Chains A and B, each alone.
Chain A
């Protein structure tokens, strides 16, 4: 353990004396990066004690090479190592068992960007590993569904850090000013990732299933999980189109995406009861990705003319997902997974008040086409809690700055109609150009099977130091 701590501290402070910024090597090669140390402390609301849940050290560097005004190459690796597993002295605990899945960068995620750019007046092409983002919602992935997500820390980090980049072709054609047609061809496939059993932010549905397994075994049952991923072949490519244009001051996009869902869904392939009329028995379940259509639109408009809404910005997103695997069952217990259609929309309002207080409010609804299937009700995919046909929610984000933008606090509140929600407070302080401090707190509340309520005993405080170069 001493060795791990030593390496972590060394890793964290090795670059501390470096006082240069993003730099240039020659005229056409530019680099920038950072080293970040994060400390996450879990606060057990009802047990009144805290525990270390992450001591994460991240190294990130971006290299940009411009061959000409039209051509450029960008390479951006990132690696993290979480020293909490070495520091916490609880070997064989559930926390410690997750080190392989949580303790360092997973799969291909170390490579954040690696692409070739070609820009011209009419056509932009980005070929390689990258992120594509649709939509403008705060704190929620409404239209932002092109990339898979790493949800091991739920939706708490900046989304750019939890999207899993993919190899793809992105082409943007501009037939006229302020109008572009974006075409995506994504032959690469990575599944969205959730936290393993009993990690700080594992989903309660997963915890319940993993908790059920040993009990099931005691009653003579068994459980086998098969994972089916689409092969990384051209024929399995996801395809996307987005038309973006303006009508006066109204900016809008029309979006369409077709391909295998980035999320894996659980299906029960077979079940043989060990004890009649009970749920104990032999399970074969599979995790599958299904072909889905996503269609939708977004819009935004800043009211620039005089009138009641002057200075306000209105945003909206609507998505329709066809053939989305959806869970049905009873509260806490998934019985079936069926393909159904879902809708969601969001309306956002932004305005600056009191000189430099940015205020952003959003109202959203998730609508499931089929609330029931046979006698079962639609379930929350994270928790298997019973959902309404229409789930309503509100978000509110307030951000400001003090001391000449040295101190930047913000708060995001997400609240749904089941009295389920979270408050995320975040503050950044610029000590020097290349040295930033951050801290914050995530508070969750709600019913045990609410999206946020599942973490109601899982508040987290975090502190970070970032050295940039």
Chain B
């Protein structure tokens, strides 16, 4: 009996190791699709792969951030974003990706540039430089804290740039047809009836600014299309809608974020980020993601 139990335990452990190894070892520059009977960890790993466009060599888009007050008053920011994906199989295996954001409008923030180097090592924080138009100089800065607002929006920095698979634990709640996510910015409902996995994600940090989030993952491409975020008291306080489109790039289907909308239910404030002119695999040089590039700013 004991031998049988030991054997079963060994099989379970082996299977667990295999599963986690598969989940941890997604190759960069490769598109993954969800398959039936995948574990929740595998699903979330693919979701992360999609979010950070780790399937591509590089990424470029223009973006428009809309800050919408409860009253409807709206402010905007426009930016150009470029990213090069590096990863363990690249010439610089310590880096995950390097990211350059340059604000183009409005005039008051025009020229502000943020260069970010993100590492594969989970324990490392990001390296970050700013180009400050008001000082006309580059300034090395400490990376923003994970729970800080991302560019003044209702997103946190973690939600956009730093959250990793390893930061949360996951539980598959159900497979269901999504009820639909309503965008208040363009007054439309999206993804109604879409086949999704509904997953509960709990942060390993405790205490943290959220106690859990419920996320709906599109079954076809593994992208997160909707999040409900709960505060430390377990009360829903934020919803996030993410719209994806499939871009055909060199014969491959790239799931691409084209619109993000977050609503803070406590304040009624909303933030929308619209991505335009999205390009993948342009052959961006790593030399673009250096301090020298920040210094090229004329504004």
Contacts of A21 in B (CB 8 A): 105-107
Interface-facing stretch out of B12-20, B23-31, B125-133, B234-242: B125-133
Q: How far, in whole Å, are A406 and B108 apart by their CA atoms in the complex?
A: 12
Check A121/B143 contact, CB under 8 A, given A163-B136, A355-B148.
no
CB pair A64–B287 under 8 Å, yes or no, is no
User: Distance (Å) between the CB of A347 and the closest chain B CB?
Assistant: 14
| A262 lies within 8 A of chain B by Cβ | no
Contacts of B137 in A (CB 8 A): 133, 135-136, 144, 159-160
Who on chain B is nearest to A403 by CB? Answer: B152
| B179 lies within 8 A of chain A by Cβ | no
User: Chain A: how many interface residues by the 8 Å CB criterion?
Assistant: 60
Who on chain A is nearest to B286 by CB? Answer: A177
Who on chain B is nearest to A432 by CB? Answer: B75
| A167 lies within 8 A of chain B by Cβ | no
Who on chain B is nearest to A75 by CB? Answer: B298
Contacts of A355 in B (CB 8 A): 145, 147-148
CB pair B126–A22 under 8 Å, yes or no, is no
A 117-148 binary contact with B (CB < 8 Å = 1; else 0): 10101001000000101011000000010000
CB pair A404–B67 under 8 Å, yes or no, is yes
Contacts of B164 in A (CB 8 A): none
CB pair A312–B106 under 8 Å, yes or no, is no
Contact of A302 among B142, B147, B285, B299 (CB under 8 A): B142
Contacts of B67 in A (CB 8 A): 404
Main SS of the interface on chain B?
A: loop
User: Distance (Å) between the CB of A231 and the closest chain B CB?
Assistant: 28
| A34 lies within 8 A of chain B by Cβ | yes
Q: How far, in whole Å, are A119 and B290 apart by their CA atoms in the complex?
A: 14
Q: How far, in whole Å, are A119 and B67 apart by their CA atoms in the complex?
A: 35
CB pair A305–B123 under 8 Å, yes or no, is yes
Contact of A304 among B119, B144, B151 (CB under 8 A): B119
Contact of A136 among B108, B140, B144, B292 (CB under 8 A): B140
Q: How far, in whole Å, are A315 and B127 apart by their CA atoms in the complex?
A: 14
Contacts of B286 in A (CB 8 A): 177
CB pair A160–B134 under 8 Å, yes or no, is yes
Contacts of B76 in A (CB 8 A): 433
User: Distance (Å) between the CB of B105 and the closest chain A CB?
Assistant: 5
CB pair A356–B145 under 8 Å, yes or no, is yes
Q: How far, in whole Å, are A299 and B152 apart by their CA atoms in the complex?
A: 30
| A417 lies within 8 A of chain B by Cβ | no
Contacts of B124 in A (CB 8 A): 304-306
CB pair A32–B142 under 8 Å, yes or no, is no
| B223 lies within 8 A of chain A by Cβ | no
B 19-52 binary contact with A (CB < 8 Å = 1; else 0): 0000000000000000000000000000000000
CB pair B138–A304 under 8 Å, yes or no, is no
CB pair A133–B135 under 8 Å, yes or no, is yes
| A405 lies within 8 A of chain B by Cβ | yes
| B141 lies within 8 A of chain A by Cβ | yes
Taking each of B106, B126, B152, B286, which has the highest tally of chain A beta carbons within 10 Å of its own beta carbon? B106
Q: How far, in whole Å, are A468 and B109 apart by their CA atoms in the complex?
A: 10
Q: Which residues in A have some Cβ–Cβ distance to B below 8 Å? A: 21-22, 32-34, 62, 64, 72, 74, 113, 117, 119, 121, 124, 131, 133, 135-136, 144, 158-161, 163, 172, 174, 177-178, 180, 244, 249, 251, 300, 302, 304-306, 310-313, 315, 350-352, 355-356, 358, 401, 404-406, 430, 432-434, 436, 466, 468-469
A-B contact pairs, 10 of them (CB 8 A): A34-B108, A124-B292, A160-B134, A160-B136, A174-B292, A302-B125, A302-B141, A356-B149, A433-B75, A433-B108
